[in-house]
Amino acid sequence: MSSSIQYKLREMLSEVNNFHLGSSITCLEILKAVMAKKGENDVIILSKGHSAPAFYVILSELGFLSDEELWSFADLNGLPSHVIRGLPFVEVSSGSLGQGLSIANGIALASKMERKIYVILGDGELDEGQIWEAAMTSSHYKLDNVIAIIDRNFRQLTGKTEETMSKEPLREKWEAFGWEVFEVENRAGKILELLFELDEVKGKPKVIIAKAKAVGIDGR
């Protein structure tokens, strides 16, 4: 991730009291990798929809949003605080945490063509029971075109994840639910390399735990 993208994100959010800045910073690397890997028919679900600012900055870098549109974030008639269907590459609106993986399962089961569904989850979002119900469904139906990526920044809105609701041992939990689990440093290049490797993993849904260094601001 170039420093200019993060700088643009910081400048954009400085106008709105740093709205979910920490969460958006750690999501930038994930989104950059997923956008680079995404095929024409693939789906991206930003389940942690409050990281919409990161997505908007990526869209601006790709030429889909102007700087004027970017700086309209959270204005009454500007870019919404959470992604909504109708924006470029957005097929699923988000906002209520915990729903993205269930939606991904539905798309995977209904799809008659080869397509991957990338679901970006917050580690604080894993507090939602629906995530784990959906994880069982993905495993039961062997939805190997579902790829979940957890933004493991160790923080959520109310504080550190392990103090709010302990997540560890996170890898073992997903393995127990029947998923193929991978851990990687939260850097776009490393995540992208791993995404290509996952093309060869068949018969199980896949989850990437992308570990970020603490950013000192709210995560979720």
Residue 220 lies in a domain: no
Give domain status of residue 217, yes or no.
no
Output DSSP code: residue 87.
B
Determine, yes or no, domain membership for 219: no
Cis, bond preceding 169 (omega within 30 deg of 0): yes
- Nearest-Å Rg of the Cα atoms of the chain is 16
Q: Give pLDDT, residue 176.
A: 98
CATH of the domain at 110: 3.40.50.970
CB within 8 Å of 68: residues ≥ 6 apart = none
Q: Is residue 14 part of a domain?
A: yes
pLDDT score for 96: 82
Q: How far is CA 29 from the centre of its chain?
A: 10
Q: Which residues pair with 182 in a beta bridge?
A: 208
Please count the structural domains in the chain.
Answer: 1
pLDDT at position 218, please? 45
- Domain membership of residue 139 (yes or no) is yes
190, part of any domain: yes
Task: Give the model confidence (pLDDT) of 108-120 as tens digits.
Answer: 998 766 789 999 9
pTM of the model: 0.89
In a domain, 13, yes or no: yes
pLDDT digits (tens, 9 = 90+) for 6-38: 888 888 888 777 777 778 899 999 999 999 999
Q: What span, in angstroms and rounded, lies between the C-alpha atoms of 47 and 104? A: 10
Residue 89 inside a domain? The answer is: yes
Specify the pLDDT at position 156.
87
Query: In which residue ranges of the chain is pLDDT below 50?
Result: 1, 216-220
CA 90 – CA 83 distance, rounded (Å): 7
Domain limits for position 130: 3-211
